[in-house]
Amino acid sequence: MKPVDILTMNKTSWEQSAERFFGRTALPEFGPNAPSEDELHLFGDVNGKTVLDIGCGSGHSLAYMGNQGAGELWGLDLTTKQIEAATGVLSEQNATVKLFESPMEENPGLPMNHFDVVYSIYALGWTYDLKKTLSHVHSYLKPGGTFIFSWENPMHDRLQYRDGEFVMTKSYVTEGPEYNEGWNKSVVIHHRKLTTYINTLIQCGFTIENVIDEVVIADTPSDNPERWYASKKAEWVPSTFIVKARKM
C-alpha cells in the first residue's frame, strides 16, 4: 500500500472517530498502564518555553503545558476535527497558540531550531516514515532541546487473549505496515521493534536519555482480559513505552 493511501485511510478513520478520543491519553498521562508525568518529571520546568505537540489530537496535552506556564503552544495533527477540537480547548490559554493540520511526515511551515521541547503522546507510531518524521523533529528543536514521546509497546499487539490464556499471534521481528486489529482493521499502522525507534533516533542525531517501560496497574480486579489495554495483559507485557531524547 502506498503512503498516500495509508494517509488517506487513516485520516478518514480519525475524522470519523475523533470525538471518541476527545481528551484521552493526554498529559500528564503518557499511556495505558504507564507511570505519569506527575511521577516521572521528564519535562521538568516548562515555564516560558516553546513547545510543539506532534499529533496534538484534541489539544489537552497542550492545555496541560499551558497550565504549566509554557510560553508558546504549537500543535500538528492530521485531522480537521482534531484541530477544530484543539482550537476550542486552547481558546482561553494565555500563551501563543499555533495549530497546523498536516501529516507529521511533512513540515507545514514550522520554524527551524525554534522549540525547547517537542513531544508526542501516543501519536508517533502512526507515521509511515519514521526517519523522515524524526528528522523533522530534530530540525524543529533548538540545540540542547528535548524530545519526549510515548507509544504502544511493540510487543503489546503481538499478544492476545484466547481460550483462557495469552498467546503470541504475530511475529515481533517482522516489521512493516499492518491493518490494526484494535481499530477493526480500518487503519494501517507500521509495526516496528523497539530497537528501530531507538536506532532511528540515534541516526537522526538524538542522544537517548531515558527509555521507560514500567507498568502501573490500577486496582481493577474485574478487568476483562480481552480488553485491548487490559491490566491482566499488562502483567505479561507493558502496554506503553516512553523515550526521552535530546538534540545535541
pLDDT bin (cut points 50, 70, 90) of residue 87 is very high
Q: What average pLDDT does the segment 115-124 reach?
A: 98
Domain ranges for the chain: 3-247
**Taking the mean position of all CA atoms in its chain, how far away is CA 3?**
19
What count of other Cβ atoms lies within 10 Å of the Cβ of residue 142? 16
Structural contact between residues 141 and 118, judged by C-beta atoms closer than 8 angstroms: yes
**CA-based nearest residue to 186, from 3, 24, 14, 4:** 14
pLDDT bin (cut points 50, 70, 90) of residue 223 is confident
Q: What average pLDDT does the segment 8-35 reach?
A: 94
Q: How far apart are CA 244 and CA 45, in angstroms?
A: 15
Residue % of the chain over a pLDDT of 90: 89
Residue 224 phi, psi dihedral angles, 5° rounding: -75, 120
CATH of domain 3-247: 3.40.50.150
Enter the pTM of the model.
0.95
Burial class (CB in 10 A: 0-12, 13-18, 19+), 115: buried
**CA-based nearest residue to 50, from 122, 111, 123:** 111
Q: How far apart are CA 204 and CA 99, in angstroms?
A: 25
